[in-house]
Structure 1
C-alpha cells in the first residue's frame, strides 16, 4: 500500500489523535487508519458487514476456546468398539 502524508493538521486535532493513541496503546498510524475506516465503513463489502453483525473473537479468545475443547477432540477407542 502506498503512503499518504497529512500536512496542515490543526494542533488540537493532532493532540487528540496522540492522546487516543497513547490511551489505547496503539500507534498514531493505527488510530488514523481506524478513523478513516470508520468514515468509509458504509462502503464496505457485505462480508465485512456480516463480520460486524456477527462479531468476532480476539486471538486470545480463540486460543482459550481451542484449549477448552481440546478434550472433546480425543477419541475414546473403548467407546467405539
Structure 2
C-alpha cells in the first residue's frame, strides 16, 4: 500500500473530519481511506464499520417457522420438577 501526504488542508475541513471520525468511532486514517475509496467508486456508500448500541439488527431475524421450532424444542426447559424444589 502506498502512503500520501496531503498539503493545504483547511483547518475547518480537518476539524470536521476529526469530528466525523469520533462520531463514527473510527480512526482518522480509516475514515479518510473510506472517504477516498468511496469518492472514486472503489467501495460502497455504507461505512465499513458501524457502532451498535443494541441488538436491533438481530431482532426478528427468525421466520415464524423457526421461532415456533425453537419454542417447541426448548419447551421442556419450562417444566419444573416439584421434587427437586423440596
Larger Rg: 2
Q: Which has the higher contact order (CA 8 A, sep 6+)?
A: 2
TM-score (norm 1): 0.50
* TM-score normalized by the length of structure 2: 0.47
